[in-house]
Amino acid sequence: MARPSHVKVDLQALRSNYQWACDLAPASKTMAIIKADAYGHGAVACARALDDLAPAFGVACIEEALQLRQAGISKPILLLEGAFTDDEVVTAAEQDFWLIVEDPRQVDAIINATLKQPVQVWVKMDTGMHRLGLAPFRLAELMGKLEASPNVAEGMVMASHFACADELNNDFTRQQIQFFHDHMPNKDMPFSLANSAGILAWPEAHGTWNRAGFMLYGNTPLNGDHPSNKGLTPVMSLNSAVISLRQVAAGESVGYGQSWTAKRPSTIATVAMGYADGYPRHAGTGTPLLVNNQRASLIGRVSMDMITIDVTDIEGVDVGSPVCFWGPELSANEVAETMGTIGYELMTRVGLRLPKVYV
Ligand SMILES: *Cc1c(COP(=O)(O)O)cnc(C)c1O
C-alpha cells in the first residue's frame, strides 16, 4: 500500500469559483492568478481547467509562465512583479507575457530592449501600500516614455494593489481607490485594482480587469461573513490516513519532547503527514482535523513525516481510517487561524512530495 497522504483537487469547484468571480463583476474581465503553483493546487492542471474560461493568467515570475507555455497554455500571462532582468523582457515579448512595470528601471529595460514585437505593459501605481509601484508624481513622465517606445504595445493598463481589502471595515481601500483615480494620468485607459477581496467585497474597485487569486481556490480572503462568500466551494482537501494505533495510560507522553501527556487512558492514532508535507511544525495540540469525518485534535509535536491524534472519543477508528486536514468539511481558514496563519500560507506550502489527485 502506498503512503496514503495526498492532495485532492476539485477542478469543477475551481471552474465554478472562477465563474463566481465573473458573475460578481460582469463588466470586468477576470484574470486567473495561478502563481505559486496555483496556490499549491498545480498550475498546469488549473490553467488547463480554466483555459476555456479565462482570457489571461497571472503568475509571479517568468519561470512560472514558461512552465505554462511548455504545457501548451497559449493565453497571455501577466508577470505580477514584471521582468527581473533585461533578458526577461525579450522572452516576454516573444512569449506574449505581459509585464508589470513598477519601478523606473523596468521602464528603461523595456525601452532599451531589442524586441521583434512589442510587449504588453501594465503600469503599477503605488497608491499607499508602499510595497511595489511607481510614485504617482513620476507616472506621467514614465508613461510618456513608454508610450513613445515602439517596444510597448497599444493599450497600456494602469494597475494598483490593495493593502487591506480583506478588512471589511477598513476605509483604507476606499482611500486607495480614490487616490488611484485622482492620479491616473489618462482617465480613459484600462485599469485593474481588485484582487479576490476587492472582487468579493468592493464593487467600486472592479475595473477593466480584476485579478482573482485566493477566491478561485474556494475559500474567502475576507475577515468576516459576507454574502459574496456563498459562491465559493473549496477546491483542495489535504488527506491522509491512520497508519498506526495504540493505547497509552494516564501519565504517559507521546512524541518528540514528550510535549503531550495523557490525562486519561487514551487511544492515539499516528497519521502519515508531517512538516515535510507542508503541515506546519508549529501546529499545536488542539489543532482541528477530521478522522472518519469526525472532528478530532492533533496532540504533541508535528514530526517530519507524521503527526499524532487523540482518537479516544472518535468512533470506528482503525488503521486506514481517513484523515482530512482541511477541505470542504473543515475550512483551511479555520485551521490556519488556530495555527496563527492564513489559508493562503497553508495551501501554498503543501509539499511537493504529496501526489495530487484531480477530480
Ligand atoms: C497575488 C496577487 C493577486 C491575487 O490576490 P488574491 O488575494 O489571492 O486574490 C492580485 N494581484 C497581485 C498583484 C498579486 O500579486
Interval between CA 342 and ligand 1 midpoint (Å): 14
Tell me the average pLDDT of the chain.
97
Tell whether ligand 1 has an atom less than 6 A from the beta carbon of residue 13: no
Q: Residues 217-228: what's their mean pLDDT?
A: 96
- Tell me the pLDDT tens digit for each residue of 124-133: 999 999 999 9
What residue's CA is closest to ligand 1, atom 15? 80
**What pLDDT, on the 0 to 100 scale, is given for residue 1?**
65
pTM, rounded to two decimals:
0.97
- Closest-CA residue, ligand 1 atom 10, reads 195
- Spatial distance between the Cα atoms of 285 and 318, rounded to a whole number of angstroms: 21
Please, which pLDDT band fits residue 29 given cuts at 50, 70 and 90?
very high
The Cα-based distances of 164 to 100, 171, 191, 192 in angstroms read 21, 9, 19, 16
**How many angstroms separate the alpha carbon of residue 210 from the centre of ligand 1?**
10
Alpha carbon distance 183, 156 (integer Å): 15
State pLDDT tens for residues 257-272. 999 999 999 999 999 9
Asked if residue 79 has its Cβ within 6 Å of ligand 1, the reply is no
Q: Is the CB of 183 under 6 A from ligand 1?
A: no
The answer, yes or no, to whether any atom of ligand 1 lies below 6 A from the CB of 33, is: yes
Residue ID of nearest Cα to ligand 1 atom 4? 213
What pLDDT score was predicted for residue 351? 87
